[in-house]
């Protein structure tokens, strides 16, 4: 096999359709007789529904149906628990999942109460105003600490408190070790992650074909197979009667995998009931409440150190906001708990968290999925430790890095995939060195910074390290098939939201099967094309589905060689496959096209011999034993305007190790996009709730997504430590860019403004000019 | 609500359409769901994201901030009308492909319309100008760097042609 494509910066197969307006997104689906849905959503964060009157709405011209919870009968069920709690001793987990329509109580602003279905979306929205609702407002649970205080209102009446979960994980014996440590540094941290805000909001179109007994659902989901299975179960259909298509999806970043969203449950049901297709497209305002967030944690953390700056241990007690329901289990806080350990040797660890129900929208993973919170804590603790011990910030990190001969490195606690947190491979110091060299760390501190400071400029440098558990199980599959026209088709069950799967899977198959990469057609996210799978999350698409494509392609390659050898009556070793043809090495002109072989593999006469199958195709599955751990270092030089506290990034460097790289162009794009979201989280994006649980900035005018003026040019470099956990040696890369940006900003701003000298520490994210003003304004006016 | 329909005659990508629409129908909805030109995307419907940008009598405008009847008698270009022929891309489309300027592609049509208009007026832009012009279009996937690279490359290629 020649690797012409694997590892090369191949341009994307999917681009042309997207560039010419021909790609199908959910809202592009137009069906004859299609109806449109709109939702009446709660305006209260917490309240008891006393009565709902939909009679006027039902009577409005153009309205076809209006349903409330009681109209759903037995179909009204709380959603499934997506991820059960991991097997950790002593764990407390209170499962309370979201419902299709609020019945007697509403638990967050935006929770759906009624669905209107009408001839147009305009009419459906008109009818929302006709619905009369009598709501008794209840005190809203918003603040994490107050939520746990005695006497707090409870989000779920059948629970005595707002505790959603309580988990303790330990490694070694922190208390004992800390007693002998040289020093202990203790701080409180607040980390708030916003919302993923894909440019395409969510949407669902459902169509019931009564004659065929077939339900088709177009859904902006990241996990079409699970949606198919779940819908079949809820609707008492067999899986074969349900087809879920996640066509082109305009960005996901996590929240598009949540299920079941109420709209995903209700549209198929209504389409069957009305026997007409129904479409619902979330508008941007709805998106702010109806799609999941990630939000905040409060950490009380301490680090124990030896006199030479080595970590003796870390203790962390934190609160995690899970929102009104917890359908995604503990993935986010477990990620925080695990990822805090980072690339460092932490011999003793004691971590306790309490997940808290609040009257706020549901929290599920968003790019980084809680990793940011943990990374912020450890990176900030190391900064403060360096200061305390008089060490350089890069040096204290270097001293604590896990050495290359310590892999696989077992951190003992349980990770989100339920396996012990074990790092498969890594070589961390060169990554740090490279980042320091690229940012010009030494030189900046020694000469550049003093020089600029002398000119009155406020410049600072920062460096932050992280690891990322990627590519977790359970498994994915792929079907690879040579078509009669010589093209190769690849189908997998994952959904795709811009990660370039149409290209990276094509690269893998093209090399094995010997065709031009443009002649590989990849289908993702259509359950009729591929039956099995889990979904796109946890930076796993390329790793898990990619390896399945590789395995299936290898089998197809063997089938091609076997059939061609029979055809030429020669040994398989004498054959080579290239450019869509199989030829005999050294015999020019002796070749057969793959398409012709594919036809011969499905003969009209003559039997398919026992032990063989028709066609040149194979379906294979790949399930990694555990996740592959990627790592990286970001470094940045920033300038802060001391008057406005606006900042400008002067230089941004990412050095990253995600094992073997399939496509450096696509990888760069993933990292750029991740960093941009990290920057948004660090400095621009904040969901502002009042104590009534009302979101005060629910528009793109007020919730600030970074623009091309806010995201700097980035310089990327890579090291490669292949993963031993899969034959291609790859690790995931989807989330890495976003993870360490928070601590990087805090550190750089502190350095730029010389805040250490003023005893100001930045222990929270997001920052913003306003927030900085509050935190440092006073100190600054003194200086 | 006034549900009276208005006649709308509009030329889109060189083709004349006659349709009826309520006064309140957004131009973005009209283009997408009445003319079935779904390449124009909708990201916010409040004028911030730029995904719905079209050329209206040659100028970039946000289709979500206009009503369909306002297009009566006007000329519109959408992303479907950008490529000179089915097998040839506009230089900016080509550069977006070459530089990996799109990921999910949802913001892309709006960016193409905004930036082709920009390039027509600024044939020799520098990076700062490109970033300024691009700053009204939100992209959540790319971090903008590859889009900026693509616009700069397209500018160069378009100059070579001239
Ligand atoms: S949809 Fe028009 S600007 Fe966002
Ligand atoms: S490519 Fe996805 S929003 Fe721009």
Angle at A399 between CA A396 and CA A402, to 5 degrees: 125
Kindly state the average pLDDT of the residues B145-153.
98
* Residues near A573 by beta carbon (within 8 Å), at least 6 away in sequence: none
Q: What is the DSSP string of A300-334?
A: EEEEEE-TTS-EEEEEEEEEEEEES--TTTTHHHH
Res A106 pLDDT > 60: yes
Mean pLDDT (chain A, rounded)? 93
**Atom number, ligand 1, closest to the C-alpha of residue B41:** 1
From A195, which residue of chain B is nearest by alpha-carbon distance? B140
Cβ–Cβ of B100/A676 closer than 8 Å?
Answer: no
Q: Which residue has the higher pLDDT, A252 or A126?
A: A126
User: Cβ distance B123 to B37 under 8 Å?
Assistant: no
pLDDT tens for each residue of B10-46: 999 999 999 999 999 999 999 999 999 999 999 999 9
Residue A203 is predicted with a pLDDT of 97
pLDDT tens for each residue of A360-409: 999 999 998 999 999 999 999 999 999 999 999 999 999 999 999 999 99
Quote the CA–CA distance of A285 and A125 in Å, as a whole number.
13
Ligand 2, atom 4: closest residue by C-alpha: B139
Angle at A448 between CA A447 and CA A452, to 5 degrees: 120
Residue A259 pLDDT grade (very low, low, confident, very high; cuts 50, 70, 90): confident
Q: Residue A468: which H helix or E strand, with range?
A: strand A459-470
Cβ–Cβ of B103/A711 closer than 8 Å?
Answer: no
Q: What is the domain partition of chain A in residue ranges?
A: 15-20+473-622, 35-151, 297-472+625-782
ipTM: 0.97
A15-20+473-622, which class in CATH? alpha beta
Q: How far is the CA of A700 from the centre of ligand 1 (A)?
A: 10
**% helix / strand / coil in chain A, to the nearest 5?**
30, 25, 40
Query: Would an 8 Å CB–CB cutoff place A604 in contact with chain B?
Result: no
Residue A471 is predicted with a pLDDT of 75
B5-81, which class in CATH? alpha beta
Helices H / strands E in chain B, number of each: 5, 5
pLDDT tens for each residue of A162-212: 999 999 999 999 999 999 999 999 999 999 999 999 999 999 999 999 999
DSSP B30: I
One fold for both A35-151 and A297-472+625-782?
no
pLDDT tens for each residue of A644-674: 999 999 999 999 999 999 999 999 999 999 9
Quote the CA–CA distance of B126 and B121 in Å, as a whole number.
13
pLDDT tens for each residue of A292-307: 999 999 999 999 999 9
Residue A493 is predicted with a pLDDT of 83
Res A474 pLDDT > 90: no
Residue in the structure block whose two tokens are 């199980």:
A473
User: Cβ distance A481 to A523 under 8 Å?
Assistant: no
Spacing of C-alpha A641 from chain mean position: 34
A437 CB-side CA count, 13 A: 9
Contacts of B39 in chain A (CB under 8 A): 20-22
Quote the CA–CA distance of A418 and A568 in Å, as a whole number.
51
CA of B111 vs chain A CAs: smallest distance (Å) = 10
Cβ–Cβ of A699/B98 closer than 8 Å?
Answer: no
Location of each CATH 1.10.150.120 domain in chain B: 91-161
Kindly state the average pLDDT of the residues A608-625.
83
Max distance between CA atoms of chain A, in angstroms, equals 93
Residue B1 is predicted with a pLDDT of 47
Give the least confident one: A250-254, A317-321, A543-547: A543-547
Kindly state the average pLDDT of the residues A509-518.
94
Residue A530 is predicted with a pLDDT of 85
Q: Which fold has domain A35-151?
A: Aldehyde Oxidoreductase; domain 3 (3.90.1170)
A 73-92 residues with CB < 8 A to B: none
Res A609 pLDDT > 90: no
User: Cβ distance A30 to B33 under 8 Å?
Assistant: yes
**Atom number, ligand 2, closest to the C-alpha of residue B51:** 3
Ligand 2, residues A498, A676, A700, A705: which to mutate, most atoms within 8 A of Cβ?
A498
Residue A637 is predicted with a pLDDT of 98
Q: Which fold has domain A297-472+625-782?
A: Aldehyde Oxidoreductase; domain 4 (3.30.365)
Assess whether the C-beta atom of B42 lies below 6 angstroms from ligand 1.
yes
Residue A380 is predicted with a pLDDT of 98
Angle at A30 between CA A29 and CA A32, to 5 degrees: 145
pLDDT tens for each residue of B98-124: 999 999 999 999 999 999 999 999 999
Residue B159 is predicted with a pLDDT of 87
Nearest CB among B39, B98, B103 relative to A498 is that of B103
Strands A92-93 and A163-171: antiparallel
The total of other beta-carbon atoms located within 10 Å of residue A373's CB is 31
* Residues near A390 by beta carbon (within 8 Å), at least 6 away in sequence: none
User: Using CB atoms within 10 A of its CB, is residue A621 exposed (0-12), middle (13-18) or buried (19+)?
Assistant: middle
pLDDT tens for each residue of B52-98: 999 999 999 999 999 999 999 999 999 999 999 999 999 999 999 99
Pairs of CB atoms within 8 A across A/B: 177
Query: Would an 8 Å CB–CB cutoff place A254 in contact with chain B?
Result: no
Q: What is the DSSP string of B107-160?
A: SHHHHHHHHHHHHHH-SS--HHHHHHHHTTS--SSS-SHHHHHHHHHHHHHHHH
Residue in the structure block whose two tokens are 């060689």:
A561
Contacts of A284 in chain B (CB under 8 A): 43-46
User: Cβ distance A303 to A79 under 8 Å?
Assistant: no
Cβ–Cβ of B142/A707 closer than 8 Å?
Answer: no
Quote the CA–CA distance of A97 and A80 in Å, as a whole number.
7
The structure's pTM equals: 0.95
Contacts of B48 in chain A (CB under 8 A): 699-701
Question: Which two three-digit tokens encode residue A284?
Answer: 């941007």
Helices H / strands E in chain A, number of each: 20, 30
User: Cβ distance A687 to A695 under 8 Å?
Assistant: yes
Q: How far is CA A255 from CA A110, A365, A387, B50, in A?
A: 16, 6, 38, 23
Cβ–Cβ of A700/B89 closer than 8 Å?
Answer: no
Q: Which residue has the higher pLDDT, A783 or B155?
A: B155
**Percent of chain A residues topping a pLDDT of 70:** 97
Residue A734 is predicted with a pLDDT of 78
Contacts of A699 in chain B (CB under 8 A): 44, 46, 48
Quote the CA–CA distance of B117 and B128 in Å, as a whole number.
17
Res A217 pLDDT > 50: yes
**Atom number, ligand 1, closest to the C-alpha of residue B63:** 2
Residue A602 pLDDT grade (very low, low, confident, very high; cuts 50, 70, 90): confident
Quote the CA–CA distance of B162 and B159 in Å, as a whole number.
5
- Ramachandran angles phi, psi of A277, nearest 5°: -65, 145
Q: Which range, A274-283, A413-422, A576-585, is most confident?
A: A274-283
Kindly state the average pLDDT of the residues A578-602.
90
Query: Would an 8 Å CB–CB cutoff place A248 in contact with chain B?
Result: yes
Location of each CATH 3.10.20.30 domain in chain B: 5-81
Quote the CA–CA distance of A309 and A398 in Å, as a whole number.
10
Torsion of CA A96, A100, A105, A107, to 10 degrees: 60
Question: Which two three-digit tokens encode residue A536?
Answer: 């796109």
Q: How far is the CA of B45 from the centre of ligand 1 (A)?
A: 5
User: Cβ distance A335 to A160 under 8 Å?
Assistant: no
Angle at A352 between CA A346 and CA A355, to 5 degrees: 135
Q: Which fold has domain B91-161?
A: DNA polymerase; domain 1 (1.10.150)
What is the spatial order of strands in the sheet that A520-524 belongs to? A520-524, A488-492, A476-482, A617-622
Nearest CB among A21, A197, A711 relative to B143 is that of A711
DSSP A25: B
pLDDT tens for each residue of A64-105: 999 999 999 999 999 999 888 988 999 999 999 999 999 999
Quote the CA–CA distance of A600 and A608 in Å, as a whole number.
11
Assess whether the C-beta atom of B45 lies below 6 angstroms from ligand 1.
yes
Query: In A712-783, which residue ranges form alpha helices assigned H by DSSP?
Result: 741-753, 769-782
Question: Which two three-digit tokens encode residue A761?
Answer: 């520490």
Residue B143 is predicted with a pLDDT of 97
Res A783 pLDDT > 60: no
Cβ–Cβ of A673/B83 closer than 8 Å?
Answer: no
Quote the CA–CA distance of B64 and B71 in Å, as a whole number.
12
User: Cβ distance A113 to A102 under 8 Å?
Assistant: yes
The total of other beta-carbon atoms located within 10 Å of residue A211's CB is 6
Which letter, b or e, does each residue of A219-240 get, where b requires 16 or more Cβ atoms within 10 Å of its Cβ? Answer: bbbbbbbbbbbbbbebbebeee
Quote the CA–CA distance of A155 and A324 in Å, as a whole number.
7
């Amino acid at each position: 096999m020649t690797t012409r494509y694997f590892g090369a910066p191949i341009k994307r197969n999917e681009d042309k359709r997207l560039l010419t307006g021909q790609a199908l997104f959910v809202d592009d689906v137009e069906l004859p007789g299609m109806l449109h849905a709109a939702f009446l959503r709660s305006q209260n964060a917490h309240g008891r529904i006393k009565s709902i009157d939909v009679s006027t709405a039902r009577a409005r011209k153009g309205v076809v149906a209006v349903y409330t919870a009681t109209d759903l009968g037995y179909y009204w069920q709380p959603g499934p628990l997506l991820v059960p709690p991991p097997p950790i001793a002593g764990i407390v987990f209170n499962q309370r999942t979201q419902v299709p329509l609020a019945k007697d109580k509403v638990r967050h602003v935006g929770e759906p109460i009624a669905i209107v279905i009408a001839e147009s979306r305009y009419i459906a929205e008109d009818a929302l105003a006709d619905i009369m609702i009598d709501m008794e407002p209840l005190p809203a649970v918003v603040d994490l600490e107050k939520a746990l205080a005695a006497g707090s209102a409870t989000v779920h009446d059948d629970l005595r408190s707002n505790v959603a979960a309580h988990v303790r994980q330990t490694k070694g014996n922190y208390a004992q070790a800390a007693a002998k440590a040289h020093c202990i540094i203790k701080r409180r941290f607040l980390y708030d992650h916003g919302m993923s805000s894909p440019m395409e909001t969510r949407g669902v179109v459902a169509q019931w074909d009564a004659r065929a007994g077939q339900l088709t659902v177009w859904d902006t989901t990241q996990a079409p197979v699970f949606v198919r299975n779940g819908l079949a179960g809820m609707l008492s259909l067999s899986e074969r009667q349900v087809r879920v298509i996640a066509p082109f999806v305009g960005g996901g970043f996590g929240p598009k995998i949540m299920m079941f969203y109420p709209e995903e449950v209700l549209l198929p049901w209504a389409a069957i009931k009305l026997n007409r297709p129904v479409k619902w497209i979330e508008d941007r305002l709805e998106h702010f409440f109806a799609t999941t967030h990630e939000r905040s944690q409060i950490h009380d953390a301490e680090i124990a150190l030896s006199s030479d700056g080595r970590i003796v241990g870390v203790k962390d007690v934190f609160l995690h906001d899970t929102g009104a329901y917890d359908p995604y289990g503990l993935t986010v806080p477990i990620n925080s708990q695990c990822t805090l350990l980072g690339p460092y040797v932490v011999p003793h660890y004691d971590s306790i968290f309490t997940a808290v129900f609040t009257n706020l929208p549901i929290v599920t993973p968003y790019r980084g999925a809680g990793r940011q919170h943990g990374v912020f804590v450890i990176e900030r603790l190391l900064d403060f430790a360096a200061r305390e011990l008089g060490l350089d910030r890069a040096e204290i990190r270097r001293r604590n890095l896990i050495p290359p001969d310590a892999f696989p490195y077992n951190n003992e606690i349980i990770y989100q995939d339920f396996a012990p947190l074990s790092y498969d491979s890594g070589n961390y110091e060169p990554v740090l060195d490279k980042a320091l060299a690229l940012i010009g760390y030494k030189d900046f501190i020694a000469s550049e910074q003093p020089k600029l400071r002398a000119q009155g400029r406020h410049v600072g440098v920062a460096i932050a390290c992280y690891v990322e558990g990627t590519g977790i199980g359970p498994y994915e599959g792929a079907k690879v098939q040579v078509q009669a026209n010589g093209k190769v088709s690849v189908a997998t069950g994952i959904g795709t939201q811009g990660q370039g799967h149409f290209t990276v899977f094509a690269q893998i198959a093209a090399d094995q099967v010997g065709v031009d990469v443009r002649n590989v057609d990849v289908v993702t996210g259509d359950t009729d094309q591929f039956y099995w799978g889990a979904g796109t999350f946890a930076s796993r698409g390329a790793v898990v589905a990619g390896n399945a494509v590789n395995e299936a392609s290898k089998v197809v390659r063997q089938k091609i060689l076997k059939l061609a050898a029979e055809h030429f009556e020669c040994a398989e070793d004498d054959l080579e496959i290239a450019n869509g043809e199989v030829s005999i090495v050294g015999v020019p002109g002796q070749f057969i096209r793959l398409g012709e072989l594919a036809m011969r593999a499905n003969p009209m006469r003559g039997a398919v011999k026992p032990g063989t199958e028709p066609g040149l195709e194979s379906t294979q599955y790949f399930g990694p034993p555990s996740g592959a751990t990627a790592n990286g270092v970001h470094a940045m030089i920033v300038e802060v305007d001391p008057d406005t506290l606006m900042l400008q990034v002067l230089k941004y460097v990412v050095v990253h190790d995600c094992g073997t790289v399939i496509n450096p162009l696509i990888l760069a794009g993933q990292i750029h996009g991740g960093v941009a979201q990290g920057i948004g989280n660090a400095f621009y994006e904040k969901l502002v709730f009042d104590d009534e649980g009302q979101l005060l900035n629910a528009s793109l005018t007020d919730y600030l997504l970074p623009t091309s003026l806010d995201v700097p040019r980035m310089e990327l470099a890579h090291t490669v430590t292949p993963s031993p956990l899969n034959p291609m040696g790859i690790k995931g890369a989807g989330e890495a860019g976003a993870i360490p940006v928070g601590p990087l900003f805090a550190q750089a701003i502190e350095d730029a403004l010389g805040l250490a000298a003023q005893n100001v520490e930045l222990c929270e994210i997001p920052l913003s000019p306003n927030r900085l003003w509050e935190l440092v304004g006073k100190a600054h006016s003194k200086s | 609500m006034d549900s009276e329909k208005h006649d709308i005659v509009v030329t889109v990508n060189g083709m004349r359409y006659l349709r009826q629409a309520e006064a309140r129908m957004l131009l973005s909805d009209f283009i997408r769901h009445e003319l079935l030109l779904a390449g124009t995307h909708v990201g916010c419907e409040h004028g911030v994201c730029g995904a719905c940008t079209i050329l209206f009598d040659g100028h970039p405008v946000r289709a979500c901030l206009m009503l369909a009847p306002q297009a009566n008698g006007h000329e519109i270009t959408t992303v479907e009308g950008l490529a000179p022929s089915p097998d040839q891309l506009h230089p900016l489309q080509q550069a977006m492909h070459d530089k990996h300027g799109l990921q999910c592609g949802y913001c892309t049509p709006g960016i193409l319309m905004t930036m082709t208009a920009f390039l027509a007026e600024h044939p020799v832009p520098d990076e700062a100008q490109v970033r300024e012009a691009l700053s009204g279009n939100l992209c959540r996937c790319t971090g903008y760097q590859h889009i900026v690279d693509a616009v700069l490359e397209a500018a160069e290629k378009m100059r070579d042609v001239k």
